């Protein structure tokens, strides 16, 4: 599944309003509340051999492929298709949130989508890591910790689990929970590949707070 670069969040100028743009309903989350006639689409997906669940998973995967290329319109169209097929599939809300951040610069609406996805039973490590990082970057580290703890415990995607774990180690350290930050950082420091993330773990491991 998609691994969102830290720059996606840190480069956002959330204090500056985005240019006013009008998108068609199929390029807005959940069609912008505009009612759609979806049965023909659902029937066609099922006729192609998918269930509604697997069809939603395929749509989300394709949506993230477009998102990684910054093709936000096609990405949102795919996420909307996934939402029609299975409105309880958590990754769809992750997709909505990321487009709302990257294209629309709407953190409040993105947070609502993150929260909705995180509240669903199938919330992935990646979703929880992205939501936790969002909370950290909006200066709510205490709120981020329980979200990241859930992500760090999920084993569905090892790379995303590791991302949640390193974000959690940083959050623990920022909150002076050194008894938790130090062993976690020591456990994962050799697994982290991205340079800045590894440097962050090494900083914790070599900190006087982590001696012994």
In a domain, 143, yes or no: yes
178: containing domain:
124-212
For the chain, the domain total comes to: 2
Please say whether the beta carbons of 210 and 178 come within 8 A: yes
Determine the Cα–Cα distance for residues 117 and 60; give it in Å rounded to an integer: 13
Q: Are residues 148 and 206 in the same domain?
A: yes
The DSSP H or E segment spanning 199 is helix 195-205
Structure-token pair, residue 174: 């920022």
Structure-token pair, residue 2: 């998609």
pLDDT in tens, 40-49: 999 999 999 9
Q: Are residues 178 and 128 in the same domain?
A: yes
pLDDT at 1: 44
The domain that contains 88 carries what CATH number?
1.25.40
Q: Are residues 109 and 55 in the same domain?
A: yes
Last residue of a domain, one of 90, 122, 154: 122
Higher pLDDT, 149 or 33: 149
Structure-token pair, residue 70: 């910054």
What is this structure's pTM? 0.88
Q: What percent of the chain has pLDDT over 90?
A: 83
Our CA angle for 195, 199, 205, nearest 5°, is: 145
Please say whether the beta carbons of 118 and 102 come within 8 A: no
pLDDT in tens, 180-193: 999 999 999 999 99
In a domain, 15, yes or no: no
The domain that contains 180 carries what CATH number?
1.25.40.10
In a domain, 4, yes or no: no
């Amino acid at each position: 599944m998609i691994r969102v670069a830290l720059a996606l969040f840190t480069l956002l100028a959330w204090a500056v309003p985005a240019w006013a743009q009008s998108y068609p309903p199929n390029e807005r989350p959940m069609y912008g509340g505009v009612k759609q006639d979806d049965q023909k689409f659902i029937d066609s997906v099922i006729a192609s051999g998918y269930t509604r669940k697997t069809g939603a998973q395929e749509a989300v995967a394709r949506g993230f492929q477009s998102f990684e290329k910054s093709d936000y319109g096609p990405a949102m169209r795919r996420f909307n298709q996934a939402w029609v097929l299975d409105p309880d599939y958590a990754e769809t809300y992750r997709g909505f949130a990321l487009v709302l951040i990257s294209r629309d610069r709407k953190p409040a609406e993105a947070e609502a989508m993150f929260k909705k996805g995180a509240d669903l039973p199938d919330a992935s490590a990646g979703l929880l890591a992205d939501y936790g990082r969002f909370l950290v970057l909006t200066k709510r580290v205490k709120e981020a910790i329980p979200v990241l703890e859930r992500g760090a415990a999920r084993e569905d995607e090892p790379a995303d689990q590791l991302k949640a774990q390193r974000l959690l180690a940083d959050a623990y350290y920022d909150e002076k929970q050194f008894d938790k930050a130090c062993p976690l950082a020591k456990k994962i420091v050799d697994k982290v590949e991205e340079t800045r993330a590894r440097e962050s773990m090494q900083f914790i491991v070599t900190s006087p707070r982590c001696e012994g």
